[in-house]
Structure 1
Amino acid sequence: MVERLSISIDDSTKKKLETLKRKREKNTSELIRDLIDFGYELAKSEVDMETIKVWIDYLAKRQHMILDIEHWRVIFSEIEKIEDHNFWGHMEEIGLSHSFQYKMKGLDSIEKILRYVEKANWYEIKEEGDGVYTLILNDPKIKRFVKVFLEKVFEGQGIKARINEGFGKLIICSG
């Protein structure tokens, strides 16, 4: 059975719809059915729209990659053993370069940066209040990696933050 559906849209939505129709080479009915299917799959996944947007930002420009957590843990069990200053110097440079990229995206506070990076699944944030955040790491072996990265991101933006270590966690304090 086919059911007809009428909807009202404003000019901005109409322009978006026309753009999508052109890009996808579909008529309105086909496109709306596809979008409903897509929305349904998103709703089933229980992933919020902000997370989806960050994942797209991470992956669409091909500057990040998807890595199985088991690969991640094996890699970091080896990285944990590295005491090469050259390696950690490169990690600092990467943090500094990200500080600029994040600033250009409007990520210019401790909370915004931590929330954005959280979408990469390195840690889960527990907000303690008064500018204090506990990062529960997905593996204790990534502590130094995350700490070095965040220190340089904050430094590159001139953000005053202290990072204290716990077992399997980092505690970030503003100021």
Structure 2
Amino acid sequence: MNPTRITVAFDPATAALLEKISKETAVSQSEVMRRALRFYSENKALLDAAVKKKVYAYMDLLLSGEHVILDVDHWLLFLNLIESLPDPEKFWIAHRAVAQSHKEQLKSKVRTGEDVLARLEACNFFRMIKNSENDFTLVMGSEQPKKFVKILIEEFLAAIGVRAEIRENLAKLNVNIKP
């Protein structure tokens, strides 16, 4: 079967990029274009800015090897076990200390209270609803993670010098960022 031939006009920067990729990968320019079109077709969801932002957040969290993917049922099981400990307060004190220890890492990743919430939303702790510029509702799948998430938010916001009022509902937190 004969391949379909097309002619494409590139600006100088794009032509240079094609040449560079072709040399780096040691494949023909035609093969680079075929791969690029397949990649584009498979990943066009990344054109949506919100999807792209989430994917990059996932990559940032997972590729370092410092985070894990955990099934929600296992997550809730662990949270239930914590409350059945003889002294669950020891866990919450340790959890707060771990959250505080992330201060330096966090400063390079987030700048605003909304950034903190978006980063934690990327961890699937909750679904965030932006009610207004500084008011957010965080919807959780159940009541169990509320205390865990609230401590993270308190410590992460404190780490970047942001004040907030956090109110609890049954399976939601309402976060009002103070100017």
Gaps of at least 5 residues in structure 2 are: none
Distance 1:44 1:159, change over 3 A: closer
Amino acid at match of 1:115: A
Whether 1:79 and 2:100 are equivalent positions in the alignment is: no
1:108 alignment partner, SS class: coil
Gaps of at least 5 residues in structure 1 are: none
2:75 alignment partner, SS class: helix
Moved more, 108-117 or 79-88: 79-88
**Equivalent residues in 2 for 1:36-115 (5 A)?**
36-43=37-44, 48-82=51-85, 83-105=87-109, 107-115=110-118
Q: Report percent identity of matched pairs.
A: 23
Report the CA distance between 1:127 and its aligned residue. Answer: 0.9
Distance 1:62 1:157, change over 3 A: same
Contact 1:136 1:169 in 2 (8 A): yes
After TM superposition, which residue ranges in structure 1, 4 or more long, deviate above 4 angstroms? Answer: 12-17, 24-27, 44-47
Moved more, 26-35 or 56-65: 26-35
Counterpart Cα distance in 1 of 2:137 and 2:148:
16
Which residue number in structure 2 is paired with residue 33 of structure 1? 34
Root mean square deviation of aligned Cα: 2.8
Counterpart Cα distance in 2 of 1:10 and 1:79:
60
> Structure 1 length as normaliser, TM-score?
0.81
Which residue number in structure 2 is paired with residue 159 of structure 1? 162
Which of 1 and 2 has higher RCO (CA within 8 Å, sep 6+)? 1
Give the greater-gyration-radius structure (CA): 2
